[in-house]
Structure 1
Amino acid sequence: MKLLHLDASALGSHSVSRGLTAAIVAQLTGNAAGTDVIYHDLVANPLPHWTPVADANDPATVLGSQMLEEFLAADVVVVGAPMYNFSIPSQLKAWIDRITVAGKSFHYTANGPEGLAKGKRVIIASSRGGVYSEGSAAAPMDFQETYLRVLFGFLGVTDIEFVRAEGVAISEDNKAESLKTAHAAIGVVTRKAA
């Protein structure tokens, strides 16, 4: 199995999403001996934002092609995606812009766009200071999980799962309970892969 692991939180050791992705990857690799893991810390090593470059030898173009090939080759993609200002970190968006390439990860047809990244599984560790899940008063402000679900669906991924820790900034008790729930969800999600 080829596993691509991405972290996008700027909080380092204080990051909830980083802790969750580490737990997810540990469970998945423990369940599948011989897993090939590629890891990118998109904050420590940020990708340049996409710009049109004609030179195939440009370092940003080469790096973007590497990100795309790693994504397409992965069987499982684990993404640490904290909510920043109702959406995702710009570092994660820079990666998304490198993997969303017409003719490579999707194409247009007479019947509309078709994703070309089928057959992979995406597990997203979502962390949020407040409560934005469906049914909450703040749900209309969720441009994080809804965006990621639509984006990966557009690329052809149908197996998308979220492990969510939300309300982590409300109180220490709320954070502890949310993390307990998230870690229980990790057990369910990773057993599915076994």
Structure 2
Amino acid sequence: MAHLLHLDASARSDSLSRKLGESFAADWKAANPGGTYTYRDLVAEPVAPVDEARVHLATQSSLNGVRAIEAMDEVAGTSSELATAWAATRPLMEQLLAADTLLIGAPMYNFSVPAALKAWIDRVALPWLPLQGKSAVILSARGGAYGPGTPRESFDFQEPYLRAFFSSLGLDDVEFVHTELTHARVMPFLAQFRETHEASQAAALDAVHALATRARAETPSRA
């Protein structure tokens, strides 16, 4: 059956990235009534930053996927430090490997990703993690405008970074939905861009609906 893993990383409970994620999840659930939905709020339930023991885990297996997880169980039993590091890592690996589609609500913070999301990435980014055949949808809310042709296009380190991260693990099917100029709603000096922001938000909601429907059509059934 289809399996959606949904992560939120915004520090704001009413953020647009969260609202877009709620919309996607609702459409996905309606389209996949027998599917599995797993949710984690990376702010309310933060992932522990990596430490020396977690870094050491990355060098301890030449296997891949589920076999590597089983091998790491044995490695983790060799010291209390490795056991603690693996206990914080294993559940995240299992969630990621079980999912067909990964949905991430990721606002742009300081031209890149929130620390909460970076901690999750650092924790799961092991060289033997295979993500081939999966897809990812990144729902981004940005205070300014960073699209093609804008003055700050070159300041966008969010989308290129996430594409590079997932591609390094074999996941190249990554779709981005950006809501731009969110600060126009609250910052007077950007008031002239409110209509542009509203149009961007409406387009994002349309894109979310289309992608959630596509996820239903393309996700293979599991025995």
TM-score by length of 1: 0.88
Q: Aligned pairs, how many?
A: 181
Check whether the contact 1:168–1:174 (CA below 8 A) recurs between aligned residues.
no
| 1:139 and 2:165 correspond | no
Residues 122-146 of structure 1: per-residue CA shift (max 9 Å, x gap): 0010110000112211011001111
Q: Which residue of 2 aligns with 1:57?
A: 83
C-alpha separation between the residues in 1 aligned to 2:38 and 2:82?
24
Please name the residue that 2:163 is paired with.
149
Q: Distance in 2 between matches of 1:3 and 1:132?
A: 28
Deviation at 1:120, TM superposition (A): 0.5
Identity %: 39
Task: Give the 3-state SS of the residue equivalent to 2:50 in structure 1.
Answer: coil
Point out the structure with the larger strand share: 1
Q: Do residues 75 (structure 1) and 100 (structure 2) align?
A: yes
CA RMSD of aligned residues (A): 1.4
Q: Quick check: 1:192 aligned with 2:214?
A: yes
* Residue 183 of structure 2: aligned partner: 169
Cα displacement (A) at 1:2: 1.2
Distance 2:24 2:153 in 1: 25
Q: Which has the larger radius of gyration?
A: 2
How far residue 191 of structure 1 moved from its aligned partner, in angstroms, is 2.4
Aligned equivalents of 1:65 and 1:133: distance in 2?
Answer: 37
* Partner amino acid, structure 1, of 2:112: S
Q: Structure 2: which 5+ runs fail to align?
A: 54-78, 185-190, 218-223
Gapped runs of 5+ residues in structure 1?
A: 106-115
Q: Which of 93, 110, 128 matches 1:85?
A: 110
- Higher normalized helix content (fraction of residues): 2
Greater displacement, 83-92 / 134-143: 134-143
Question: Which residue type is aligned with residue 43 of structure 1?
Answer: V
TM-score w.r.t. the length of structure 2 is: 0.77
**Partner SS state of residue 153, structure 1:** helix
Q: 1:112 is matched with which residue?
A: none
